[in-house]
Amino acid sequence: MNASGCERLALADLTDYAAGELPASEADAIEEHLFSCADCSARAAEFDALLRAIRPAVRSAEVGGFVTDDVLNRLAREGVRVRSFVVSPGAMVPCAVWDSDELLALRLRADFGGAGEVTMSQRVAGAEVVRATAPVAGGPHGELIYALPASWVRELPVVEVEVLLTTHEGGEDRPIASYTLLHGGSLQR
Amino acid sequence: MAMPETDATLDAVSDEGLARRIASGLPGSTDAEEAELYRRFAPRVRLYGRRHLRDEAAAEDLAQEVLLLTIERLHAGEVQKPEQIGSFILGASRMMAHGERRVARRREALAARFMPTAAETAPMSLASLDAPRVAACLRGLAERDRLVLLLTFYAEREAPRIADDLGVSPGAVRAIRHRAMARLRDCVLGEARS
């Protein structure tokens, strides 16, 4: 990334620094170097540009994937319109997005037991449309939150979406919970 | 005392040389040098501000305020050691971040002065970091990697909290974050360059 000579600051150093992960003495040393080394200027500019780009990308509601309440709360504070559906194991839940929604959040409740990772599969008319594996903290009263861009959900026809959570244990997949979403299409106010 | 460098293009002028050019020029006659100083140091001040103020907008404000102060001090002959301009800017960053002096009117004037210049002088490979491109690269990351990046740099959570949420150790969060940033960089900059 930086063709010039100094290799004092690697991407990992800048990442730790920006994340506030370093002891004060190490952070001070990075700052001293950062402001005095012209060679590292380009590397710092590139890293700064990356960090600055993350927020508008997430705020665009086009990222999706597993999130937590911390992420959803931040999105809400920034004015992103999130529609949430809480679903319990075995439930059949009517679900749709309105024309003003930007993100759909599925709150999948389950007993995760001792699972460290959970795979979610979403199937529409028998075909898998989403498959994602996420870490979970486990526990009997857990909840996984999966976010979908509303623009993507809007494209779905009126259809049933089967959601299955499994975990991989002892070389086998163990079902954790299943849910049925009765997608009602895109709604307009 | 070294003389100002006068025969080099701005890209090739050292930080010290740039500081000396600004210091030796009349206010209003060194716009190009001031823009170059901003281009070089604003990202570093933003990184500093993001870490210490924990707020993207405040970090942006800090970069503008610190660079304006630096330019004012250079013109006033109050930067004693132009060869240590980086140290001066770091000191100003520390002072202003700690004080958090924010004057709305001054900020607006700074934005009007610097923002167009900053956009024009962004490195080519970074100029096109638009939200759809970065969103696509974030979508392409593994779920765990993406979640750690979002919790760190969007929700601004610290490693112990993230570790609790994910059921992993803080050390593992750090390792995941390193990998995720490297993959995001490769994806974003790879696309930008292609």
Give the pLDDT of residue B27. Answer: 76
Q: How many CB pairs under 8 A join A and B?
A: 183
Q: How far apart are CA B118 and CA B33, in angstroms?
A: 13
pLDDT tens digits, B4-38 = 555 558 888 999 999 999 999 887 788 999 999 99
Q: Is the pLDDT of residue B68 over 60?
A: yes
The ipTM estimated for the assembled molecules is 0.91
Q: Give the contacts of B146 (CB within 8 A, at least 6 positions apart).
A: A63, A65, A66, B138, B139, B180
Given a cut of 80, whether residue A135 has pLDDT beyond it is yes
Q: How many CA atoms lie within 13 A of A29 on its CB side?
A: 9
Average pLDDT of every residue of chain B = 84
Question: Residues 35-64, chain B: which have Cβ within 8 Å of A?
Answer: 39-41, 43-44, 46-48, 50-51, 54, 56
Q: What is the pTM of this model?
A: 0.83
Q: What share of chain B is helix, strand, coil (3-state, %, to 5)?
A: 75, 0, 25
Which residue, among B152, B123, B132, B35, has the nearest Cα to A49 in the 3D structure? B123
Q: Note whether B51 contacts A20, CB cutoff 8 Å.
A: yes
- The band of A75, judged by pLDDT with boundaries at 50, 70 and 90, is very high
Q: Which of B44, B54, B149, B157 to mutate to test the interface with A (most CBs of A within 10 A)?
A: B44
Residues 6+ apart with CB under 8 A from A140: A111, A112, A113
Q: What is the pLDDT of residue A86?
A: 94
* A4 touching B (Cβ < 8 Å): no
Count CB neighbours of B171 within 10 A.
10
| A68 contacts on B by Cβ (under 8 Å) | 147, 151, 155, 165
Q: Is B81 on the interface with A (CB under 8 A)?
A: no
Mean pLDDT of B81-105: 83
| A57 vs B: CB within 8 A | yes
Tell me how close the Cα of A185 comes to any Cα of chain B, in angstroms: 24
